[in-house]
Every structure is written in C-alpha cells, then in structure tokens.
Structure 1
Amino acid sequence: MTPEPLTADEIAFWRALNRAMLALPRALDADLLRSQRMSMSEYFVLMLLSETPGRRLRMSELAAKCTLSLSGVSRIVTRLERSDLVVRERACADGRGWDAVLTDAGFRRLEEAWPDHLASVRRHLFDHAEGLDLRSVTAVMERFATDAPEPTPCDEGEC
C-alpha cells in the first residue's frame, strides 16, 4: 500500500519540527555550557534525580527517562561523579543493579544552574509559543515520545 502524500501544511510542519528538534537542544546546550559549564544532558540527569524519592534512580530507569542507552547515561553519570554531584550505590530493592544518587552538592549545583536554564528555555522556546494551546501541543509531544522506539547501541555510536 502506498502511503498518502503529505499536504503542503504537513510538509511545512514536518520541516519546521525537524529544524526545531535540531536547533532547540543545541541552543539550550550552548547556553548551559557557556553560563554554567554544564551540558544539557548533565542538567537533565540532575533534574530527574532531584524529582525522585530519595533523589535516586536505578541506572536503567534513568537511561529510559533520558531516552539514552545504559552506556550513554553511564558516561554522563561518570562525569557527574567526578564533580561529586552524583554517586552510584547498589540498588536498594535487590542489590543486583546500581542506582545513581544525587548528592547534596549535586542538588546545590542544579539550583545554581536552574535560573540560567529557565531563561534559556523561555528565550528559545516559550517566547516563540505565544498563543499556542500548550496543553494540546504537550499531548501531541507526549504521544510522539510514547511511540518512539527505545534507543539502541547503534544510536549511541557503539556499533
């Protein structure tokens, strides 16, 4: 079966979404690196850990929440460990796996970076979203994320 061709509006949306998916993370990452010497990936890991009970997540769960491979998130956690922002501990539940645990220093570092990150998100995203029904757009983005396949080692350049 031949798929139905995209309409002009669908093509325009697809192209704009493609540009935004590339440009927005780069802009946010560049701002954080410039102002905080922290990558967006590092910030995201600290943020996710700060929002969980006990400020800890099993490494595999953290990878899934970051939509990264286990080795990809492990590299980020290793960088954060070097700065004493995160530590790895045996998983509380079964002792077989490892948890990433946000340290007090990591939480303070996240608090320091948050105002710069917030300003960047406002400037690069929400200043351009005036008049949008954010709840509807959020629902669409959540459906995209839910339907996306899990990353594979090849996605991380490990093939």
Structure 2
Amino acid sequence: KLKGILVGGPIPTKDEFIDEQYMVTKLREKIIGRIDIGGSDESGLKELVQKSQEILADQEIIHEKKLLERFFDHLGRKPDMATLKEEDTKQALKYGAVDMLILSKDTNKTLSKELKQLADNIGSSVEIVSTETEEGDQFKNLGGIGAILRFRV
C-alpha cells in the first residue's frame, strides 16, 4: 500500500512535474515531500534518499502518535475493546480477538517474538512503537504491551 511519495529533482523540473499535473490527483495527494537535488542520475537518487530521512522519520512519528491516540481512546471510551498488559493481551490473542497488537520497541525480545507469533497465527496486525513521542513513552510506562480488539473477551 502506497503511503507517500517523495518527488526530487532540480527546482524547476520537479515543480513542473507536480504542478503541470503529470500525475493523477490521487497520486498527487500522496506527495509528502518535494526535495531539491542536483541531478537525475544515480548520485541524484542517493542524494534524494539522504535528504528525505527527516521527512520519513516525521511520517513515522505521526503514524505512531495517531496509532497510540487511537489505542488510548479505545482504553478510555471502550475499555472492553482494548487490552493493556501482557496477561490480558495474551488471553485476547489466544481467543483470536486481537485486531492490532501494539508493542513498545523496549519490550523483552523473547516475549515480543512470542506475542508476534500469536498475532500472526490469527491474522492480527502488529505495530512496534518507539518511545520518541510522549504517547510512546506513556505506553511503555504502562507496560508496553496492548491491543485493539475485534470483539470483546
């Protein structure tokens, strides 16, 4: 699934490409960055990758914040549709109730691997979140293991 497009090139070329509508609207709406680079050869591509790191990191942080805001909203408004802590999350995984497993990147690696395997077995998505945001740090301090459920258990 396409999450975003970075467009790079010399100033007039990349701007004309975007502004002159060489891309369909749905693709244009996915543009997350315009990056000025010197050339359009292999060295230009390397320059694009290097200059896009900050944009991509920001996109990941935004994704994590939205994900955890959704999780905390479930905990607050529909607490029976979310789990927090290892034991409750494991039980929900065993019942096949987990829609999305959320783990802090600081979770014990052996435990993390076990929970990911359980999630994979029931077709749940797995999200690993950092502690670089306030929400991620709060999640870690609450145990670093949680889930949004498909149904109540």
TM over 0.5: no
Higher helix share: 1
| TM-score bracket, shorter-length normalisation | under 0.3
> TM-score, normalised to structure 1's length?
0.27
> TM-score, normalised to structure 2's length?
0.28
